[in-house]
Amino acid sequence: MTNQSKFNLPEVYSTLEETLESAEKILIAAVNDAKTLFHTPVVSSFNDNQITSRVMVLREFSLKDRKMRFHTDHRAAKINHFNKISTASVIGYDPELKIQIKLQGNISTHYDDEITKTAWEQSTSRSKKCYSVKGGSSKEITNPEDYDIKDFEVESGYKNFSVLVFNFNSLEFLYLKSSGHRRAIHKWDDEYQSTWLVP
């Protein structure tokens, strides 16, 4: 079964609502399905005036609340970057679906609060293990083997655990199909608006 039929997506998009509904189906499914390419979208943000991008695992998606959740190491330099400039963009593309989804918004960081506690409780031991690494993400080292995670107490990683909440105010949907590309933008400014764009 192809992903297109699995998600029951239209072959042809004739309404803007269909593009938003499809994006929602794809992103909700991506949270628990590591095989879909939207499980690991690219998150871009600013480090002062430089754009930085990285792949991250999508942990939660809610269209109603217009939010995505990501997890990261609290010691990573990007935490300070998000706190300084919260503007961020998330993008993914699935060649089987021929769909790109791009979202613009802002990232807020969370550390040792109700949001991180709930997220940590819902995490698997395998995910928790990453946060027991010595030194923290991006530290310059001479021997990577010294940083392989061997002896660790899984719950001790919580002190290094951060949650990133990405609140989006626009979602762009692009469907590439030889019979006619379709591009739609959905925006939530003062009020919700959507329109087709030239692809």
Residues of this chain that bind ligand FMN (CB under 6 A): 40, 52, 54-57, 70-72, 76-78, 137-138
List, as own/partner pairs, every contact residues 135-142 make where C-beta atoms lie below 8 angstroms and the sequence separation is at least 24, other chains included. 135/75, 136/73, 136/74, 136/75, 136/76, 136/160, 137/72, 137/73, 137/75, 137/76, 137/77, 138/76, 138/77, 139/75
**Cα–Cα dist 10/182, whole Å:** 12
To ligand FMN, the closest distance from the beta carbon of 9 in angstroms equals 24
To ligand FMN, the closest distance from the beta carbon of 132 in angstroms equals 14
Q: Residue 57 or 85: which CB sits closer to ligand FMN?
A: 57
CA 108 → CA 22, 51, 147, distances in Å?
A: 26, 17, 29
Q: Residue 23 or 58: which CB sits closer to ligand FMN?
A: 58
Q: Residue 59 or 186: which CB sits closer to ligand FMN?
A: 59
To ligand FMN, the closest distance from the beta carbon of 54 in angstroms equals 4
Q: Residue 23 or 119: which CB sits closer to ligand FMN?
A: 119
